[in-house]
Amino acid sequence: MERRMTGKQHALGHVLLTAALAFVSLIVYQPISWQSFISLSGIVFFGVLLDIDHISFQQIVDLVKMKKDRLLLGAPVMGWTNWLHSWQALLAIVCFSLLIMNFLPLLSFVLHILLDGANKCNLVYRTSPLATTIHPFYPEWLKYSFGPEDLEK
């Protein structure tokens, strides 16, 4: 059976994973210092806000023209690269984590990419290099797609 997940459920997955990590960070690093604040910001950014790079120029055009139906689909644009979902970003985040000597932001990023990687839409759009690379290694029962219409394209 085809496993479905809506964009909203997928986003909620990112939010819940990130919230869990942020919670751990708040408990482990008391009292709150500059270092733990930067780490917390990293967790939130790499866990959820990372997806700002799904916003392509086409979607900005849609936003300006208020084409709501297409925006809600989050319709990825062929040939677009989500640089925050690439090896270069991974490398940058490893450096960031080393610099602040805290690996929770890196873990947050890895969890984000792992969730994205199970999405079958990666095989169609190929906009997120890391997620697309790891997708074939997922067992079938772990994979999901946003809908059959995504795979027909």
C-alpha separations of 71 from 59, 66, 116, 124 in Å: 7, 8, 19, 18
Does the protein bind Zn ion through residue 116 (CB under 5 A)?
yes
Does the protein bind Zn ion through residue 51 (CB under 5 A)?
yes
- Tokens representing 36? 């733990």
Nearer to Zn ion, 62 or 116 (CB): 116
- Tokens representing 76? 């990825």
Q: How far is the CB of 59 from Zn ion (least distance, A)?
A: 14
φ and ψ at 145, to 5 degrees?
A: -140, 165
Dihedral sign of CA atoms 121, 78, 127, 56 in order: negative
Contact stretch for Zn ion (CB under 5 A) within 57-65, 89-97, 103-111, 112-120:
112-120
Contact stretch for Zn ion (CB under 5 A) within 43-51, 65-73, 118-126, 137-145:
43-51
Residues engaged in binding Zn ion (CB under 5 A): 51, 116
